[in-house]
Amino acid sequence: MTNSSSNAMWGGRFADGPDAIMEAINASISFDRRLYAQDIQGSRAHAAMLAATGIISPKDAEAIREGLLTVLSEIETGSFEFSTALEDIHMNVEARLKELIGEPAGRLHTARSRNDQVATDFRMWVRDQLDATEAALIALIRALLSQAEAGAGWIMPGFTHLQTAQPVTWGHHMMAYVEMFGRDLGRVRDARVRMNESPLGAAALAGTSFPIDRDQTAAALGFDRPAANSLDAVADRDFALEFLSVAAITAMHLSRFAEELVIWSSTQFRFVALSDRFSTGSSIMPQKKNPDAAELIRAKIGRILGAMIGLFTVMKGLPLTYSKDMQEDKEQVFDAADSLMLALAAMTGMVSDMTANRDALLDAAASGFSTATDLADWLVRVLGLPFREAHHITGALVAMAEDRCCDLHELTLEDMQSVHGDITADVFAVLGVENSVASRTSYGGTAPEEVTRQITRWKEMLT
């Protein structure tokens, strides 16, 4: 492939080619080569439409089609020579096409501009990433459902402020993340519907005088419809911003779960054991098993959120329509997409492989006065006390148990009656963590039967 100057592609407007610095800052081929498949797919659809509408001859369209397939094969086999002087993926492909088929290659760019071309390529690439993210989220949700189903009745402490609050079940905790990632899945699907409009045919910014068929190219490229305004079609990067927003929220959820796995796998908690596949050792401390995969997932939110803020900052001051600033949109999206897919895959692997320590979970749930709320509820329900009074009595009993270094269920009936004389032995039925969990049967509650119902609901939604 020749390394001809890009001003030959621009035409006669510029007498001199850009110097090395300008070439370096202007070129995007180092990263936008990732759009090659979408670029060639869009060009093939455009050429077919030009032939169908009589704008170019069927012979030229066939030469373009065959030439583009050759370029695609060269890129995929690694024999294609990318040129920085040709700036971007569009010019690199078109220049090679001209070498292969000659004069018909020059007809390919009829009725389009690099502005609508790159908008189309990039939109298709982001759409592919949304599809990949959807599949990755479903895989993660299925792994969480498996964990939830296995431990629907395993008792563990629920926390607020990282302090023991009330007993819940392992299954219920796993299902909390199913709901989180389920919302991410919904956002991915919503974003895909909203962005699935074709910019192709908007040309530079004003449309074209050629009798093109934008519905044909939109359908050929899997879009629902052509974009309705040519100015907006080339100026819009909402689809990329929305992808980054979805990615940032998903990464935040991954980070929260990763933080819990770091805590839970520590010697102090021992709630879970992570597999060797997602852990590392220490160079000098042989007893260590570090949750490095979880820690790296926890860090990914920084890169992804940074990409989102970066692109928002690029776009916020741009007048309609296209400005070269928008060349800075892709690297950030590419990096965020790579980081998100890696984090999702790693989390799915960790969730699939991790083993919950049922005994440690139960021991932790039975400590820390986790049934205090159940005691207060019993005082209200059985003795008819106002909740504020019941709260005060329960607090006094907790203080007594703390002084005696025991838990609530280890106090005697006489101890309890010394705080409120109407308490009966029936109160001990609610002080066991098993009874506490079993009683939370409200919709979305932690009772095993309710957890199982939610697991079934999600399995049905994913079929």
Contact in structure between 113 and 130 (CB atoms under 8 Å):
no
Q: Tokens 């932690």 — which residue?
A: 446
Which of 161, 209, 283, 442 is labelled catalytic?
161
Q: Is 90 a catalytic residue?
A: no
Closest listed residue to residue 263, CA positions, set 145, 136, 391, 173: 173
Closest listed residue to residue 122, CA positions, set 326, 320, 338: 326
d(CA 167, CA 158) in angstroms, rounded, equals 5
As beta bridge partners, residue 168 has 156
Which of 30, 57, 275, 282 is labelled catalytic?
282
d(CA 138, CA 142) in angstroms, rounded, equals 6
Query: Three-state SS across the chain?
Result: CCCCCCHHHHCCCCCCCCCHHHHHHHCCHHHHHHHHHHHHHHHHHHHHHHHHCCCCCHHHHHHHHHHHHHHHHHHHHCCCCCCHHHCCHHHHHHHHHHHHHCHHHHHCCCCCCHHHHHHHHHHHHHHHHHHHHHHHHHHHHHHHHHHHHHCCCCEEEEEECCEEEEEEEHHHHHHHHHHHHHHHHHHHHHHHHHHCEECCCCCCCCCCCCCCCHHHHHHHCCCCEECCCHHHHHHCCHHHHHHHHHHHHHHHHHHHHHHHHHHHCCCCCCCEECCHHHCECCCCCCCCCECHHHHHHHHHHHHHHHHHHHHHHHHCCCCCCCCHHHHHHHHHHHHHHHHHHHHHHHHHHHHHHCEECHHHHHHHHCCCCCCHHHHHHHHHHHHCCCHHHHHHHHHHHHHHHHHCCCCHHHCCHHHHHCCCCCCCHHHHHHCCHHHHHHHCCCCCCCCHHHHHHHHHHHHHHHC
- Sign of the C-alpha dihedral, residues 148, 149, 150, 153? positive
Q: Is 391 a catalytic residue?
A: no
d(CA 83, CA 157) in angstroms, rounded, equals 60
Which positions are annotated as active-site residues? 161, 282
